[in-house]
Amino acid sequence: DIQVTQSPASLSASVGDRVTITCRSTQNIDIYLNWYQHKPGKAPRLLIYAASTLQSGVPSRFSGSGSGTDFILTISSLQPEDFATYYCQQTVRIPRTFGQGTKLEIK
């Protein structure tokens, strides 16, 4: 199976900060990498697909980059509603594995 590892596991930041979360896969996955946001009690939300394509309706402060084995999710200026857990997921192979998550908390 392809493993994807996120870092950091948790992150404290303030409103207005620029934040980056990284995702690394154990194999070359081209751009078969998605990013999701999840808040407790809510449905997970797709943010970015194919490594860098912003899902419709997602604010432009979110961006994704990378290809191959290394990927980055960037939030350019944190807003209060952005405090959540973020997951990457590879979709090049079954099983479509998720990273372990990055919990973004308010400093």
Partner 1 sequence: EVQLVESGGGLVQPGGSLRLSCVVSGFTFRDYNFNWVRQAPGKGLEWIAYISTSNSIFYADSVQGRVTISRDNAKSSLYLQMSSLRAEDTALYFCARQKATIRGPYYYYYMDIWGKGTTVTVSS
Contact status: 68 vs partner 1 (CB under 8 A): no
The nearest distance, CB 30 to partner 1, in angstroms, is: 8
Under the criterion CB under 8 A, does residue 16 sit at the interface with partner 1?
no
64 is a site residue for partner 1 (CB under 8 A): no
Closest Cα to residue 75, out of 14, 30, 24? 14
The pair of structure tokens assigned to 9 is 């596991």
Edge-first strand order for the sheet with 4-7 is 4-7, 19-25, 70-75, 62-67
Catalog residues that contact partner 1 under the rule CB under 8 A. 30-32, 34, 36, 38, 41-46, 49-50, 53, 55, 85, 87, 89, 91, 94-101
